[in-house]
Structure 1
Amino acid sequence: MDPRSELFNYTAGRFLANDAHRLLERRRVFNIPGLFNIIAEAMNCEAGQITDFRKLGEGGLNRIFLVTLDTKFQLVARIPYPLLIPKAYAIASEVATMDFLRLKGLPIPKVYSYSSTSNNEAATEYILMEYVEGNDLSQIWSDLKEDEIISLMDQLAKVESTLMSISFPAGGSIYYASDLKELTGSEGVTLDDHSESIASEKKGFCIGPDVSTPLWYGRRGQLDVFRGPYADAKSVLVAGANKELAYLERFGTPRAPYERFRREYYNYEQQPPSDHIRNLGYYLRLAPSLVPDDDTLSAFCIRHADLTDSNIRVSRDSGSLQIISVLDWQHAAVLPLFLLAGMPDFIQNEEDEVSQKMIKPTLPDGFDKLPEEDQDREREVLRRRLVHYHYTVSTATHNGIHHKGLVYPLNPFRRRIFTHASAMWEGETIKLLYALIDLVVGWKRIVTDGTPCPIVFTVEEINAAEKLYQALKSAESGERSLRNYVGYGDETWVPATHYETAKAFGQELKRMTLKAYADDKEMSEEGYAVVEANWPLDDMDEKELEEYK
């Protein structure tokens, strides 16, 4: 088949910056007859019985195909993009996670067959799994009525309660023991569940290395660093920081911040890794203090790694809206409860004053007299508030384990500083530094036994960090405005049909911006050239892209 076929290439969108590079990361040519043979063997049929094979969708890391047999039976073949990391670990872990959780009664698609390597007839990694009828919640999310919101949040809280009630002897990610031994030579920490798996005749689940992306990204995968199984909460808190410290000590070189709209506030200068190395050292000294006093919050549990409205499948077959499946379990990890607690991004509305106070939301007085456009806006505000409110209420009612983590004092701060310390260094350290200052200044609120804080920041250091942090918040606001004007998402993604228009609009904004700079009498030619070279919607040099790995 023609390698240019849409079956092998990304067609759902384009990228305003480094489009060719981003598309190449998502291109996967494979052997279709070979895949058909694999499907036939897995489904106990003949390859000739496959009557239709078409692309069903494209996500951030995978391409989904719908396979139809002559019996009208349908299944899904999911093939990862080259950019998936750590590929073999991620696929092996996801399959075992899905099987393990399905055995616990959770609504998760059945896996028929999989390969975590390309050493097969299809010449690609793959997962064959059950096709679940229904709709993605994202298709109806913005149109839900209050009674449907209440029902869905109730169902979701119950699903999460079942999920988070499963206890684990260690942290990391779930694997089949035989798969993990093939990958690492170790069988990990055995899980006390000897049920036969759904995907194959394999038996025996275990906990092995954590597949969270920051632990493996780019050259980090070459590092011989500890990624689990974790014995306790402290070992989780320090693993990501130790990994990044090892990466910077081996590969770290000065670089400009990856986000180009932020570079102005660093005078367009490359930043040394030494600053981040120092702050990681501070974090590692303070990390043990982040473990909650309540031991139940440090218990290991599991949660979906990226719960969104697009990976919740719903049905109205029974007359009411029902959650029938939860999809996409890549990069799921078993971690302490306090690091998993939190509202999914598509549900939380925490910046809203009404949601913060947990007041039952209603439409404003005089709503009927508002112009139609204002009424639409108020309905959307109400919908967001209702989702936030009812998720919290349902979680308190059905998932006490999670609710305890949600309301535990300063727990969002614990998650935030852990995330910043584990993240990939992209030429900045301000997020970690700012969180460290918060920890040092508020030490007595976290550590209540009177132990003195071993780190001290001077007034000058605190003021400088505050100044930069606030300036960068302004930069983020400007970047959000640019996104809204041009209409792009993460990595400058736009729908394929919008690409030419968005590209032209972005270039026109660049022209207008540079004209304003040219008219500024205080702007030097050198300064103008620097601004032009760092326009966030232009291609970045490929060598520069590789530096951030």
Structure 2
Amino acid sequence: MRDGFQFIGRIPYPVTEPKHLVVASEVATMDFLRLHGIPVPKIYSYSATAENAAGTEFIFMEFIRGTNLGDVWYNLPERARITVVAKLVELESKLFALEFPASGSLYHTKDLPDGFSKVDVPIAKFDRDGDFCIGPDTTLRMWYGKRGDIQIHRGPYTEPAAALVAGAKKEIAYLTKFGRPLHPFQHMWREIYNYQKQSPSDHLDSLEKYLQIAPYLIPHDNEVLARPTLRHPDLQPNNIIVSDKLEITSLLDWQHCAIRPLFLQCGIPNSLQNYGDAVSESLEVPELPPNFDDLGEREQFEQAVLLRRRQLHYYYIAKTAQLNSVHYDALAHDFSVVRRKLFDHASEPWEGDNVTLKADLIYLTENWSSITAPQSSARGDSKVPCPISFTENEVAECERLHSAQVEADEQLQTCRDVVGIGPEGWVPLEQYEETRQRARKLKAAALEAAESNEERTRLEEHWIFGDFDEEEYS
């Protein structure tokens, strides 16, 4: 402004849906968090409808001064990174301590339109009772594409079982009405299936099996793990503002924030986790290999990067055990990762992948007694037989395809590293032309290595970084 005052004006992307609920929920979430001492920008004004002079939904919020952690994160020394991780965990402990009567997303009661279910949120120590409520879950996958037109229950959920199955029921409703054969969205997978489109009927079968086993995923041996818990939807460096002394001054971007049972919310943030690595999962103190000084320059670089990933994983777990015991207990609970994987893979929009969820279900059947024993013991029940099964041939074929997909994912990551892009394909403007040139060289090399005209045609048609119409996947 002319007097030097600065603020942020945000409007939703054209593809953001449902705009009214998403904007209203983000505003209410930030207002609620500020009331409880969580550092988030102050909301000055907002409109959850487009019926205003601007012709769009908007949020006017505080401009937070400081350094975006993403700008300095990769240059911080080890001790500074540990300091930041500790402060993040401390902030998370405050989030995990907040109490809610249901799962879903937060709203100001006045902003939730008629026709939507809601559960009031009482606020201790504040004269604001009746101001906040929990309503429909605004998570993107619940509304993606044509899914937003389907009349299904998206919350609030007063029971953990309802939160567990809502995403799967949404996807069943979508595929029943709109499902059609698709090539896997992940282009690198298409060769595995001889470039044939995959039928949604196989995934529908897996979703129905998920609904059968979902009640047994609730950890009845520890009621605290079912408590509705709020967590930042995308806790990564670019959403964190820090001071010169690395104090966290604000957490940004609460769009699509949801409250879920703790056993579904727990986990290491993607920017800090190193799952799949034996050293990280063993929780050993990470160190450089003893022969580090004898390695070549590139190998030393790779080991240094690996050490960094292991350190972040290790220190996040260590600080969580020290500062956020509720979260640590949820992380350490038997088969914690399996539960979240099953929930996520059953809730995600289907994109031609019939294998990932099925592989999770097969793993569950193979470990059924170990997973369900604590729950059965807590309820005083005898051992419960697994309600789903797979033939030997189904298991063998699924494992073959799943291994092939994992290998293809590794190849894709190598290609991304060569080109210099992340999972979403985004690059800084100043690097765009150089990155495009590397992508052209990679494609030219792949076409030259092709052994037949048919293979070259397939590569052209299904090139991993090629443009294509994503509309059929929505």
Question: Shared fold (TM-score greater than 0.5)?
Answer: yes
Among 46, 54, 60, the residue aligned to 1:128? 60
1:46-90 deviation line (CA, Å, top 9, x unaligned): xxxx23xxxxxxxxxxxxxxxxxx1x2221112222122222111
Query: Does 2:64 align with 1:139?
Result: no
Percentage identity across aligned positions?
A: 43
In the alignment, is residue 313 of structure 1 matched against residue 241 of structure 2? yes
1:496 counterpart = 2:426: no
Distance change (3 Å), C-alpha of 1:532 and 1:187: closer
Shift of residue 527, structure 1, vs aligned partner: 4.8
Give the Å deviation of 1:343. Answer: 0.4
Q: Which residue of 1 aligns with 2:111?
A: 179
Query: Are residue 426 (structure 1) and residue 351 (structure 2) matched?
Result: yes
Is 1:283 aligned to residue 210 of structure 2? yes
Q: Which residue of 2 aligns with 1:250?
A: 177
Map of 2:219 onto structure 1: 292
Kindly report which structure 2 residues correspond to 1:338-353, keeping only aligned pairs within 5 A, or say none: 338-353=263-278
1:258 alignment partner AA: F
When residues 374 and 428 of structure 1 are mapped into structure 2, their CA distance, relative to the original with a 3 A threshold, is closer
Tell me the residue number matched to 1:325: 250
User: Structure 1 residues 254 and 78, CA, compared in 2 at 3 Å: closer, same or farther?
Assistant: same
| SS class of match (2:40) | coil
Deviations 1:375-401 (A, max 9, x none): 555444333333222221111111111
Shift of 1:374: 5.5
User: What is the one-letter code of the residue matched to 1:255?
Assistant: L
User: Residues 237 and 214 from structure 1, CA distance in 2 versus in 1: closer, same or farther, beyond 3 angstroms?
Assistant: same
Work out whether 1:529 is the aligned partner of 2:457.
yes
- Matched with 2:446 is 513
Paired residue for 2:84, among 152, 155, 173? Answer: 152
> 1:451 is matched with which residue?
384
1:167 and 2:99 aligned: yes
CA distance in 2, matches of 1:133, 1:223: 42
Whichever of the two has the greater Rg, that structure is 1
Alpha-carbon distance between aligned partners in 2 of 1:510 and 1:368, rounded to the nearest angstrom: 36
Aligned to 1:88: 20
Matches within 5 A, 1:25-44: none
Alpha carbons of 1:379 and 1:473: their partners in 2 closer, same or farther (altered >3 Å)?
A: closer
Are residues 1:482 and 2:415 paired?
A: yes
Unaligned runs of 5+ in 2: 377-382
Query: What is the match of residue 228 of structure 1?
Result: 155
1:400/1:528 Cα in 2 relative to 1: closer, same or farther (>3 Å)? same
For residue 186 of structure 2, what is the aligned residue in structure 1?
Answer: 259
CA distance in 2 between partners of 1:212 and 1:121 (Å): 28
Counterpart for residue 405 of structure 2: 472
Q: Is the 8 A contact 1:171 1:228 kept in 2?
A: yes
**CA distance, structure 2, for counterparts of residue 368 and residue 104 of structure 1:** 50
Distance 1:274 1:372 in 2: 50
Read off the aligned partner of 1:298 and give its amino acid letter. Answer: A
Q: Do the aligned partners of 2:122 and 2:130 also contact (CA within 8 Å) in 1?
A: no
Deviates more, 1:487-496 or 1:245-254: 487-496
What is the aligned partner in structure 2 of residue 100 from structure 1? Answer: 32
* Alpha-carbon offset, residue 357 of structure 1: 2.3
Task: Give 1:133 shift.
Answer: 1.0
User: What stretches of structure 1 of length at least 5 have no aligned partner?
Assistant: 1-49, 52-69
- Alignment match of 1:460 (pick from 390, 393, 404): 393
The CA deviation string for residues 115-159 of structure 1, in whole angstroms up to 9 with x for no partner, is 122221122221111111111111221222333233222221111
Residue number in structure 2 paired with 1:547: 472
Once the two structures are superposed, residues 404-446 of structure 1 have per-residue CA deviations (whole angstroms, 9 ceiling, x without a partner) of 1110110100000100000101112111110010111111111
Relative distance call for 1:210 and 1:361 in structure 2 (3 A) is same
More moved, 273-282 vs 482-491 = 482-491
Cα distance, 1:207 vs. partner? 0.3
Deviations 1:445-502 (A, max 9, x none): 1111311011111111000001111111121112112111112223432222333333
Amino acid at match of 2:416: R
How far is the alpha carbon of 1:367 from its aligned partner? 5.3
Quick one: which amino acid aligns to residue 309 of structure 1? P
The 8 Å contact of residues 136 and 313 in structure 1, kept in 2 or not, is answered as yes
CA distances 1:491-541 after superposition (whole Å, capped 9, x unpaired): 432222333333333233323322322xx2xx4x5454233211122221x
Q: TM-score, normalized by length of structure 2?
A: 0.93
Corresponding letter in the other structure for 2:62: E
Indicate the SS of the match to 1:433. Answer: helix
Quick one: distance in 1 between partners of 2:292 and 2:447? 44
1:145 counterpart letter in structure 2 = P
The answer to whether the 8 A contact 2:117-2:155 is kept is no
Aligned to 2:137: 210
Single out whichever of 428-437 and 138-147 deviates more from structure 2: 138-147
Once the two structures are superposed, what CA deviation does each residue of 1:13-55 show, in whole Å capped at 9, x if it has no partner?
A: xxxxxxxxxxxxxxxxxxxxxxxxxxxxxxxxxxxxx23xxxx
Q: Counterparts of 2:231 and 2:243 in 1: how far apart (Å)? A: 23
Tell me the CA shift for residue 363 of structure 1: 4.1
Q: 1:369 to 1:265 in 2, by over 3 A?
A: closer
Whether 1:78 and 2:5 are equivalent positions in the alignment is no
Q: Kindly indicate whether the alpha-carbon contact (under 8 Å) linking 1:170 and 1:232 is maintained by their aligned counterparts in 2.
A: yes
Aligned partners of 2:90 and 2:324 also within 8 Å: yes
Task: Indicate the residue corresponding to 1:268 in structure 2.
Answer: 195
Q: Is the 8 A contact 2:233 2:256 kept in 1?
A: yes
CA contact (8 A) 1:96 1:175 kept: yes
Measured in 2, the distance between the counterparts of 1:507 and 1:471 equals 26
Q: Aligned match of 1:193 in 109, 114, 123?
A: 123
Q: Distance in 1 between matches of 2:235 and 2:384?
A: 38
Q: Distance in 1 between matches of 2:360 and 2:212?
A: 14
